[in-house]
C-alpha cells in the first residue's frame, strides 16, 4: 500500500516537473524571439522617390518573386494581383535577370482582365535593384501599337491603290507612242489617259484631306459654326453632277443652334455624303437632306433612292479604301476614302454618323453633332432666330467637283 502511494506521488511530481519545464522552455523561446530584430523588406535609399517620379507602372519583386512593392498603375494594367505577379512571361524575365544580371528591354502583348478578355501592349524594362530585388518597369504602348498598325496598313493600302492609275498611265503612254500613226487610237487612249489622271488626282486629294482631318484638333482650334450655312454650301457645290443626272436635292427643316467645330471640315463631310448619294442614285430620282434639332443635338439625314447596301457591307462601309462594288467604284471614280473622311470629321466634332440601308430601296446616312448652348452662337438676333437662316430649300443641285470621284464613298 505504501509503495503504491509512493508511486502515485512520484508520478504527480514528475508530471509537475514536466509542465514546469515546458513552461520554462516556452518563456525562454518568447524571450529569445523578443530579442530578435526582424527587418521588413527595404528598398535602396532613394529608390522609392525615383520610382514615383517616373510616371510608369512598376513592380519590385524579391528573391522568390514575391511582390515587395507595386504602384496603382501596375494593378490597373493587370500585372499584379494581391502580392503576386500575374503573368508567367514577367516571371520568366525576372528569373533571367536574376540569373544573368543583364537588363532586359522588350515589348509584350499580355492578356488583361480576370478572364483575359482583353489585352495590353506594354514595353517592359526588367533590371536588378540592389542585391535582393528585381525591378519591372511597364509602359502602356497599346494605343501606340494600334496607331502604328493602322498607319502601316494605310501605307500599304495607299501603295496598292496608287499602283493602278500610275500603272495605267504608264501603259497608256507607251501605247500612244506605239500608235503614233493611228489618230483614232491616239484619241481613244488619250481619253483613257485623262480618266486615269483624274482618278489619280482624286485619290491624292482625298489622302491629303484625310491627313488634314486627322491632324487638326477641332476641340482647341474650332469656332462656332452655322450648320444651315454648311449644308447650303455643300448642296450648292453638288450642282453639276446632279444636273447631269437630273437628280433633285430637297432640303427641309433648319437648325436653330450652332455647333463648335471647323466650317471647312464639316462642309467637306456633308459634301462627300451628298456627292455619294448622287453618284449611286439612278437618273431622275431625288436626294433628301433633312435638318432637325432635339435635346441639344443637331441631326442631318441624307437619303437617296439608290441601289442600297447589304448588311455585310454596312459593317465595313466606313473603313478606308473599302468598296462595296470595286468595279462600279472604278466606273464612278470613287476612291474608297470618302466615308472614312466623313467618319473622322464627325468624330472629331464629338458626333456620330450612322447608316440605314436596304438593297433596292436606297440608303440614309444620319449625322448627329452636339449643339452649342443658348447665347454661344455669334450674330444671333434678339428673338433667338439664327442669323442668315435660310429655312427649307428645294433645288436641282449637284457638285461642282469636276473631277470624278472626289469625296465619294467608294
The DSSP bridge pattern shows strands 286-294 and 352-358 to be unpaired
Q: Sorting pLDDT into bands at 50, 70 and 90, what band is 93?
A: very high
**What pLDDT shows up at residue 240?**
82
Q: Sorting pLDDT into bands at 50, 70 and 90, what band is 115?
A: low
Question: Which CATH code is given to the segment(s) 219-395?
Answer: 3.30.565.10
Quick one: what percent of the chain has pLDDT higher than 90?
21
Residue 358 has pLDDT above 80, yes or no: yes
Question: What is the rounded CA–CA span in Å between residue 385 and residue 382?
Answer: 8
**What pLDDT shows up at residue 19?**
47
The DSSP secondary structure of 230-299, one letter per residue, reads HHHHHHHTBHHHHHHHT-EEEEEE---S-EEE-HHHHHHHHHHHHHHHHHTS-TT-EEEEEEEEETTEEE
**What pLDDT shows up at residue 134?**
93
Q: Give 20-68 pLDDT, tens digit per residue.
A: 555 555 545 555 544 434 344 555 666 667 777 777 899 999 999 999 8
CATH architecture of 49-140: 2-Layer Sandwich (3.30)
Of 378 and 352, the one with more pLDDT: 352
Place of cell 535577370: 97
The b/e string for 205-226 (b: 16+ C-beta within 10 A; e otherwise) is bbbebbeebeebebeeebebbb
Domain residue ranges in the chain: 49-140, 219-395
**What pLDDT shows up at residue 290?**
94
Q: Which of 369, 352, 348 is nearest to 215 (CA)?
A: 348
Residue 136 has pLDDT above 90, yes or no: yes
Q: Which of 243, 299, 237, 319 is nearest to 274 (CA)?
A: 237
Q: Sorting pLDDT into bands at 50, 70 and 90, what band is 219?
A: low
Which three cell numbers mark 26? 516556452
**What pLDDT shows up at residue 152?**
64
pTM of the model: 0.49
Amino acid at each position: 500500500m505504501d509503495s503504491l502511494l509512493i508511486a502515485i506521488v512520484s508520478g504527480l511530481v514528475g508530471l509537475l516537473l514536466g509542465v514546469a519545464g515546458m513552461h520554462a522552455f516556452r518563456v525562454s523561446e518568447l524571450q529569445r524571439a523578443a530579442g530578435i530584430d526582424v527587418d521588413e523588406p527595404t528598398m535602396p535609399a532613394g529608390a522609392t522617390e525615383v520610382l514615383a517620379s517616373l510616371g510608369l507602372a512598376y513592380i519590385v519583386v524579391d528573391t522568390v518573386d514575391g511582390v515587395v512593392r507595386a504602384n496603382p498603375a501596375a494593378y490597373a494594367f493587370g500585372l499584379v494581383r494581391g502580392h503576386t505577379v500575374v503573368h508567367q512571361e514577367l516571371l520568366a524575365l525576372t528569373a533571367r535577370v536574376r540569373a544573368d544580371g543583364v537588363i532586359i528591354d522588350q515589348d509584350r502583348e499580355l492578356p488583361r482582365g480576370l478572364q483575359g478578355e482583353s489585352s495590353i501592349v506594354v514595353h517592359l524594362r526588367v533590371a536588378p535593384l540592389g542585391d535582393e530585388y528585381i525591378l519591372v518597369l511597364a509602359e502602356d504602348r497599346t494605343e501606340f501599337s494600334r496607331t502604328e498598325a493602322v498607319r502601316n496598313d494605310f501605307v500599304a493600302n495607299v501603295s496598292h491603290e496608287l499602283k493602278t492609275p500610275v500603272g495605267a498611265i504608264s501603259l497608256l503612254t507607251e501605247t500612244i507612242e506605239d500608235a503614233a500613226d493611228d489618230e483614232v487610237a491616239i484619241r481613244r487612249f488619250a481619253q483613257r489617259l485623262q480618266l486615269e489622271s483624274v482618278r489619280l488626282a482624286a485619290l491624292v486629294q482625298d489622302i491629303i484631306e484625310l491627313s488634314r482631318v486627322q491632324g487638326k484638333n477641332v476641340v482647341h482650334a474650332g469656332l462656332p459654326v452655322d450648320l444651315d450655312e454648311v449644308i447650303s454650301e455643300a448642296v450648292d457645290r453638288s450642282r453639276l453632277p446632279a444636273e447631269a443626272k437630273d437628280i433633285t436635292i430637297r432640303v427641309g427643316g433648319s437648325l436653330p443652334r450652332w455647333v463648335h467645330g471647323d466650317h471647312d471640315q464639316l462642309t467637306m463631310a456633308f459634301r462627300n455624303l451628298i456627292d455619294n448619294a448622287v453618284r449611286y442614285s439612278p437618273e431622275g430620282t431625288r436626294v433628301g437632306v433633312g435638318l432637325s434639332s432635339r435635346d441639344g443635338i443637331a441631326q442631318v439625314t441624307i437619303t437617296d433612292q439608290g441601289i442600297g447596301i447589304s448588311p455585310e457591307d454596312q459593317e465595313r462601309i466606313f473603313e478606308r479604301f473599302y468598296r462595296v462594288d470595286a468595279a462600279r467604284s472604278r466606273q464612278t471614280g470613287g476612291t474608297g476614302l470618302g466615308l472614312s473622311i466623313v467618319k473622322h470629321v464627325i468624330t472629331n466634332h464629338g458626333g456620330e454618323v450612322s447608316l440605314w440601308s436596304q438593297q433596292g430601296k436606297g440608303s440614309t446616312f444620319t449625322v448627329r453633332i452636339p449643339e452649342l448652348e443658348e447665347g454661344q452662337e455669334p450674330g444671333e438676333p434678339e428673338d433667338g432666330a439664327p442669323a442668315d437662316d435660310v429655312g427649307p430649300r428645294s433645288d436641282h443641285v449637284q457638285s461642282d467637283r469636276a473631277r470624278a470621284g472626289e469625296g465619294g464613298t467608294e
